[in-house]
Structure 1
Amino acid sequence: MNLDRDLVSPEPEGDERAIEAALRPKRLAEFIGQARVREQLSLVLESALRRNRPPDHVLMSGGPGLGKTTLAMIIAAELGAPLRMTSGPALERAGDLAAILSTLAEGEVLFIDEIHRMARPAEEMLYLAMEDFRVDIIVGKGPGATSIPLDIAPFTLVGATTRAGLLPAPLRDRFGFTAHMDFYEAAELEQVLYRSARLMSVDLPADGAWEIARRSRGTPRIANRLLRRVRDFAEVRAEGVVTREVAATALDLYEVDAEGLDRLDRAVLGVLLRRFGGGPVGLSTLAVAVGEEPETVEVVAEPFLVRQGLLARTPRGRVATAAAWTHLGLTPPPDAFGAAAVATLFDDT
């Protein structure tokens, strides 16, 4: 297991889902962050309750660890309805989906995580189910096959996806409400940490919460994971109090720096700057240089580095920005990517 990589991965690791369940808010009023989504969703749910009808189908998009599954659970709780959970990769055949849809109770909430990864036959069956609350069951094969329509109870589908662009337009258009989950600001993550600390009985002063929040890559799941690791450090070496100094020392030990970069992130930038002069460098070459698979560099490290403005993807390859040079304590050359914009900014001031 790559401990330092797992620490800042937005994907749940090992038995983390059970730990997360204890920290999840149960109601919309308890959910921290995503203010616009919360307000819009509250209107959708309140309107449905007043009309005594299931609300429109809901699609939530955004990176892992931002609260999509939590909101699906909250939707069911606010409606007072049962929740059925599955995932796109689990729906390999239309029959898999039909088995679920045919047993839904009226008003039940069906949550499909990673909905963009459903198999095409199941996806096409879902079109009709979402629109007309009906599925067509095919009996037999070949010329003798017949289609038997089966009515299903009105339900609400909540779909979650980390890659909204992969959803086909016919499926996307059938959702009545679409919400995009943004990355969190440090101040919002501080509130998440305060709540988690209360539930975990952790002594977390304001300066300690701020130190953890700013290293959490804008993701509540990572913030809670870092809190647990810092708590362990504090209990063993700092009398259990998570001050700023304790949090900083603990996270430095786990190789998560002040901007949330871990060992792999810094290795990518270090190789790009010191060995290739800032780039451009092809993905495969960069991956070999850091001793990782190309997919690991592209999927795990690059998104955060690009979002932080430390790395740029160009047609010729990966290029380090002027901010990357500065982050590693190096002087950016005059022709560094983004250096002109930085120089112009200082000239204007």
Structure 2
Amino acid sequence: MDEDTTAEYGVSSEDWDRALTAAEATELERKAEAGIRPGKLDEIIGQGRVREQIGLILEGARHRGTPPDHILLSGPPGLGKTTLSMIIAAELGVSLRQTSGPALERSGDLAAILTGLEANEVLFIDEIHRMARPAEELLYTAMEDYRVDVVVGKGPGATAIPLELEPFTLVGATTRAGLLTGPLRDRFGFLGQLEFYSEGELEAIVHRSAAILNVGITDDGAVQIAGRSRGTPRIANRLLRRVRDFAQVRAGGTITEAVAVEALHLYDVDALGLDRLDRAVLTALVKTFNGGPVGPKTLAVAVGEQPDTVEEVCEPFLVRAGLLARTPRGRVATDAAWHHLGLRPPSAEGLFRSGDA
């Protein structure tokens, strides 16, 4: 940096060099974070069945020289639906257009996107079950006939003008497949259900992500992170980043078992993967309501959260972990919940136990 430039911006050459170094480091970090997402089907860890099925669909489409059938991906958040949509476009060598169901409030919103698609492009609609009905009905003819009917005018004089679309592939993603209407679901050529990941698969994901982020990690450290990730790669990568921060600041940069345990304890993530809110729900259920049954709204008030948050964020994992049961009378803590909190479950007759039907 020359003296004139130094004087103009009021910084020294040393400060400018440090700023460039910081900018370069930030760019490398951004690329590393983006690189955590697999870029090809064969880079995906887990989801073997769905991966093989999609691979056959894409290979068949390449042989025929036509766009593949429309694909619907369903499953809980964080399992890789968005990543799969990106990979589908990359494997086909075409661009990916992204939008979400809540953003498509009017049919015109969707029509503008569809008419702008180029031949064979992939359109990804996240949370497709939340799309407004007018937009959904417009999508029917677009998916089947590559055509949209735009209505011009109002009342008796209204006219429908058909607009031809370029062939495209729709990839829809949903966390609530049961909320999709039958006509929309039936227009997808393939329905892929993504499953939760095993701890072994999550350990492999943690090792892969740690290598990309250039952070040292032992096998035992990866086991600790994977075991608290709720079967979800997104959570595994999030926990890895937080443990990385702890390791780099307080533990010499390498993630060992002890470092991972201490870091995750600091971030309120316990041995089963429960966070502060999960434990608050269990604690209220056990200590305030003596294990239940208690209604979800009452339970939400007890922990100071909205009922939707408790039902949609906390309960699915607590039920899957065998700590909470949903019964007709309300929510009930299982024996495992009492033990997890370090308490002895009451032995009164009629108490719901985890082995009951």
Q: What's the TM-score, normalizing by structure 1? A: 0.91
Question: How far, CA to CA, are the matches of 1:279 and 1:21 in structure 2?
Answer: 44
Contact 1:127 1:171 in 2 (8 A): yes
What's the counterpart of residue 161 of structure 1? 174
Higher RCO by CA contacts (8 Å cutoff, separation 6 or greater): 1
Residues 338 and 225 of structure 1: is their aligned pair in 2 closer, same or farther, counting only changes over 3 Å?
Answer: same
Question: How far, CA to CA, are the matches of 2:57 and 2:297 in structure 1?
Answer: 47
Identity %: 70
What's the counterpart of residue 11 of structure 2? none
Equivalences for residues 263-342 of structure 1 within 5 A: 263-334=276-347, 335-338=350-353
Q: Quick check: which has more Rg, 1 or 2?
A: 2
Deviation at 1:339, TM superposition (A): 5.1
What's the counterpart of residue 84 of structure 2? 71
Match of 1:232 among 221, 245, 264: 245
Question: How far, CA to CA, are the matches of 1:65 and 1:341 in structure 2?
Answer: 31
AA of the residue aligned to 1:227: L
What's the counterpart of residue 203 of structure 2? 190
Aligned residues: 327
What's the counterpart of residue 42 of structure 1? 55
Question: How far, CA to CA, are the matches of 1:19 and 1:66 in structure 2?
Answer: 20
Match of 2:106 among 86, 93, 100: 93
Deviation at 1:126, TM superposition (A): 0.3
Question: How far, CA to CA, are the matches of 2:289 and 2:338 in structure 1?
Answer: 12
Question: How far, CA to CA, are the matches of 1:223 and 1:314 in structure 2?
Answer: 31
Considering only aligned residues, what root-mean-square deviation do their CA atoms show, in Å? Answer: 1.7
Residues 302 and 20 of structure 1: is their aligned pair in 2 closer, same or farther, counting only changes over 3 Å?
Answer: farther
Residues 217 and 165 of structure 1: is their aligned pair in 2 closer, same or farther, counting only changes over 3 Å?
Answer: same
Q: What's the TM-score, normalizing by structure 2? A: 0.89
Match of 1:218 among 213, 217, 231: 231
Deviation at 1:18, TM superposition (A): 8.8
Match of 2:153 among 137, 140, 150: 140
Question: How far, CA to CA, are the matches of 1:203 and 1:147 in structure 2?
Answer: 62
**Is the aligned partner of 1:177 residue 2:190?**
yes
User: Which whole-Å deviations, capped at 9, do the CAs of 1:217-268 have from their partners, x for residues lacking one?
Assistant: 1111110010010011111111111001100010011110000001111111
Contact 1:320 1:336 in 2 (8 A): no
Question: How far, CA to CA, are the matches of 1:117 and 1:19 in structure 2?
Answer: 32
Contact 1:322 1:336 in 2 (8 A): no
The runs of at least 4 aligned residues of structure 1 exceeding 6 Å deviation read none
Gaps of 5+ in 2: 1-29
User: Which whole-Å deviations, capped at 9, do the CAs of 1:120-143 have from their partners, x for residues lacking one?
Assistant: 111000000000111111011110
Deviation at 1:294, TM superposition (A): 1.7
Q: Secondary structure at the match of 1:259?
A: coil
Question: How far, CA to CA, are the matches of 2:309 and 2:115 in structure 1?
Answer: 40
Equivalences for residues 81-120 of structure 1 within 5 A: 81-120=94-133
